[in-house]
Amino acid sequence: MAGLKLSLKMEFRRWASNLLTALFLAAATVFLLLYPGFIQRAEAELDAAYSAIDVSGWFISAVGYEDPEIPLAFYDVLEDSGFIQNSNAVSYVSMAPLSSAVENLRNTDENFAALTLAEQYAKIKTKPIINLALSTGDRLYGLNHADADARFSHLLDTVEWLDGYSADMFAGSEAVCVYPVDAGVALGDEVELIVRRANPRDIWSDVKREYMTFKVVGLHGMRANASPHYVYCPLSAMREAFSDPSWCFSLRSFSFTLKDSRTLNGFKQFLVELGLHENEAVRVSIDDRILTGTISPLQKNAALLRGLHPFFYGIVALMGFFLCFLTTRRRGREYGIMRMLGESGRSVAVKSVVEQVLLCCFGLLLGITTMLLIPGKQSDWMNPAAVALIMGCYCLGAFFAMLFTVRVNITSLLQGKE
Amino acid sequence: MSILQANDVHYTYKSKYQAVHAVQGISYAFEEGRLYAIIGKSGCGKTTFLSLLAGLDLPSEGNVAFNGTFTSHLNRDQYRREHVALICQSFNLFPLLTVLENVMYPMELRGIKGKAAKEIAVKKLDAVGLGESYHKRLPAMLSGGEQQRVAIARALASDARVLLADEPTGNLDTENGENILSILERMAHEQGYCVIVVTHDLGIASRADRVLHLRDGKIVDKH
């Protein structure tokens, strides 16, 4: 291009204003190359917060303060949903060991199955009530793991296990149980229990009663003479035993932790889809206060950083416009002289563009050189796309500025006016 | 044959509020080897007429012809690059280029670069009395007369045959003004340039071969 060499010499000698532009570009380069790291750091903080803070939830009764009756369908759906982990599921039924009097009555009276509790009591009324399984405090607990029930988890260290068995037995579905110590049974014994589902309207009559046999594989430290008695079996075994729909078997306690706290909103939506937000019997309570309180400012910070990212490139374009406008505006006389000497307007404009592009390259180089002095891995920040975008934004702003400044009135120049 | 000819040239400045008829029907033929002076009061249209001769703009009516070709049919940037050279009252040098680089600039526009351009520039500067000691100075380091001589050297370097000067001595003292006028005379009479000078100075007019007196955009006297 004609006259480019001398034009570039003039540009080079304009070092003061060019230095300002170059320093701005260098600073912008350093900032914008580091900026993605700020976003990553904010997102990492957010991720760390999500990872560190658990969200737990549990079922509650929708109608009162008693233990809820949680349909198994909810348990199964939530377990399979992929949202939750470390669930604690417990169910229980009233039970009692089969007493000899009741056993005798069962073996001798062919109508025994049709007898109500009151009739059984009447027939063997000399026996203690507890032997008739009338005590609703005695319970058979079904747990999905040893820590599902707080009471049993405290007893766990006292449990003597049958060889080949451990607390892992709760994960299975074998009809085994952990019995109170000093109850007159030994490890490995089979016990027959009367389990009943009470009629809530009449404690003397049952909805259903059944005799169930369990193998004793553990003896826990709560003594048999303490009241009430608690026997613990795997939840799956209990489910299998009460699989007949007439039992109306349900969970009495179900709590869980979200696998990934990030899925909280999705999980809440899932619960709504299950109808748990308006279920007449049960609801789900979620403790997300700590998460919400911690995450909210971090989310806002990360969102702000992400949102501002394109804005800063806009600033570069704007500064490109203003810096170029201010520096080239003062060169109106120079452009006029070039035109007066016979240079075309297009040539003047193209030269100006070339000068700005070279100036931009110098500024970028200065910025990248500065970055090299900052300790750390270059691969962490070196982003050719960002460098190209900075250059593009600056040149775009400069180009628009030049549309205003490169045009000159040569006649005014001739008359000594600018 | 005239090298530059103005044929019933009119020019009107139009603004939002008024139209000013700066040049009204000027016709004149300019020949090589002569020094012309265009005189008149401020606002009589001298500079406007000069700018039309230089191809900086086109007449509203009429035409300007260079060697028989209308400027409206020419690439006017090329016309200014190769055929006419302008010298202004305010010298119009590039402040950030040295004396030598200023004179080399028009040559670079015509594709003459490097050593060849430098040699020509040195010759032209010698022709106006600026030796080697001036070559590396910036215009700010020169007096008014010296700057105007650089402008003349630059005009000579462009190889144009028509030299248009708008108040070339306007910012100079008498001695420097006399020096510049002598150079312009030499260019016209010895080197055959067509030199057209716009001036207020009647002293310059008295040294010119032809004088055009303008008033209100028209020629009122020529001799």
Specify the higher pLDDT residue, A222 or B33: B33
Q: Kindly report the nearest CA distance between residue A16 and chain B, in angstroms.
A: 13
Amino acid at B140: A
Q: Which residues contact A108 (CB under 8 A, 6 or more apart)?
A: none
Tokens 């030598």 belong to which residue? B100
Give the minimum alpha-carbon distance from A398 to chain B in angstroms, rounded to a whole number.
22
CATH 3.40.50.300 fits B1-83+160-223, yes or no: yes
Dump the DSSP string for A203-217: EEEEEEEEEEEEEEE
- CA pair distance B140, A348, nearest whole angstrom: 24
Q: With an 8 Å Cβ cutoff, are B105 and A6 in contact?
A: yes
The C-alpha atoms of residue B30 and residue B105 are separated, in whole angstroms, by: 27
Query: What residue spans define the domains of chain B?
Result: 1-83+160-223, 93-158
In angstroms, rounded to a whole number, what is the distance separating the alpha carbons of residues B218 and B22?
A: 9
Given B51, B92, B106, which is nearest A411 (Cβ)?
A: B51
Distance between CA B80 and CA A44 in Å, rounded?
65
Classify the complex by whether its ipTM is higher than 0.85, answering yes or no: yes
Min Cα distance B193 → chain A (Å) is: 18
- How much is the average pLDDT of B108-133? 90
Distance from CA of B71 to the nearest CA of A (A): 14
Q: Which residue of A has its CA nearest to B114?
A: A5
Between chains, do B47 and A415 touch, taking CB under 8 Å as contact?
Answer: yes
pLDDT given at position A197? 67
* Nearest residue on chain B to A5, alpha-carbon basis: B108
B195 or A373: which carries more pLDDT confidence? Answer: B195
Q: How far is B150 from chain A (nearest CA, A)?
A: 14
**Chain-chain contact of A14 with B110 (C-beta, under 8 angstroms):** no
Answer yes or no: are the C-beta atoms of A341 and B80 closer than 8 Å. Answer: yes
- Radius of gyration, CA atoms only, chain B: 17
CA A363, CA A371: separation in Å to the nearest integer?
A: 12
Instruction: With a cut of 70, list the residues of chain A below it in pLDDT.
Output: 97-102, 116-118, 120-121, 124-137, 197-209, 223-228, 377-380, 412-418
A88-118 burial by CB neighbour count: b if 16+ within 10 A, else e?
Answer: bbbbbbbbbbbbebbeebbeeeeeeeebebe
- Chain A residues in contact with B20 by the CB 8 A cut-off are none
How many other CB atoms are there within 10 angstroms of residue A1's CB atom? 10
Task: Note whether A340 contacts B158, CB cutoff 8 Å.
Answer: no
Question: Which residues from A are below 8 Å from B154, CB to CB?
Answer: 341
Q: For residues B201 and A330, give the distance between their C-alpha atoms in angstroms, rounded to a whole number.
A: 32
pTM of the model: 0.68
**Residue B153 contacts by C-beta under 8 Å, 6 or more apart in sequence?**
B103, B121, B124, B125, B127, B128, B130
Are A410 and B93 a contacting pair at CB < 8 A? no
Spatial neighbors of A275 by CB under 8 A, at least 6 apart, are: none
| Torsion from C-alpha of B84, B86, B92, B93, nearest 10 degrees | 50
Are A10 and B94 within 8 A, CB to CB?
yes
CA atoms within 13 A of residue B131's CA, in its CB half-sphere: 1
Yes or no, beta carbons of A416 and B158 under 8 Å apart: no
pLDDT above 90 (res B163): yes
DSSP B104-127: HHHHHHTT--HHHHHHHHHHHHHH
Chain A interface includes B50 (CB < 8 A) = yes
Could you tell me whether strands A139-143 and A230-234 are parallel, antiparallel, or unpaired per DSSP bridges? parallel
A contacts of B158 (beta carbons < 8 Å): 341-342
Task: Give the span between the Cα atoms of A131 and A263, in whole angstroms.
Answer: 50
pLDDT of residue A417: 42
**Are A65 and A93 within 8 A, CB to CB?**
no
- Looking at the partner chain, which of A14, A341, A342 has a beta carbon nearest the beta carbon of B96? A14
Q: Helices in B18-91 by DSSP H: which ranges? A: 46-53, 76-82
pLDDT of residue B121: 92
**A414 and B56: CB-CB below 8 Å?**
yes
Number of helices followed by number of strands (H, E) in chain A: 14, 12
Measured from the Cβ of residue A9, the count of other Cβ atoms closer than 10 Å reads: 15
Q: Which residue of A has its CA nearest to B81?
A: A342
Inform me whether the C-beta atom of residue B106 falls under 8 Å from chain A C-beta atoms.
yes
Q: How far is B56 from chain A (nearest CA, A)?
A: 7
Closest CB to A344 among B77, B94, B101: B77
Residue with tokens 């940037």: B77
Who among A10, A344, A413 is closest to B97 (CB)?
A: A10
Q: What are phi and psi of A90, to 5 degrees?
A: -135, 135
Pairing type for strands A253-258 and A84-97 reads antiparallel
Residue in chain B closest to A415 (alpha carbons) equals: B47
Catalogue the long-range contacts made by B6-9 (C-beta closer than 8 Å, 24 or more residues apart). Answer: B6/B30, B6/B49, B6/B52, B6/B53, B6/B62, B6/B64, B7/B62, B7/B63, B7/B64, B7/B65, B8/B61, B8/B62, B9/B49, B9/B52, B9/B59, B9/B61, B9/B62, B9/B63, B9/B64
Contact: A2, B110; criterion CB under 8 Å:
yes
In whole angstroms, give the CA distance from residue A160 to residue A181: 9
Q: Is A165:A136 a contact under the CB 8 Å cutoff?
A: no
Cα B131 from chain centre: 23
Contact residues, chain A, for B79 at CB < 8 Å: 342
Residue A330 makes CB contacts below 8 A (sequence gap 6+) with none
Which tokens sit at B133?
């000691």
Helix axes A15-52, A345-373, angle to 10 degrees: 50
Neighboring chain B residues of A340 at a CB cutoff of 8 Å: 56, 80, 86, 88, 92
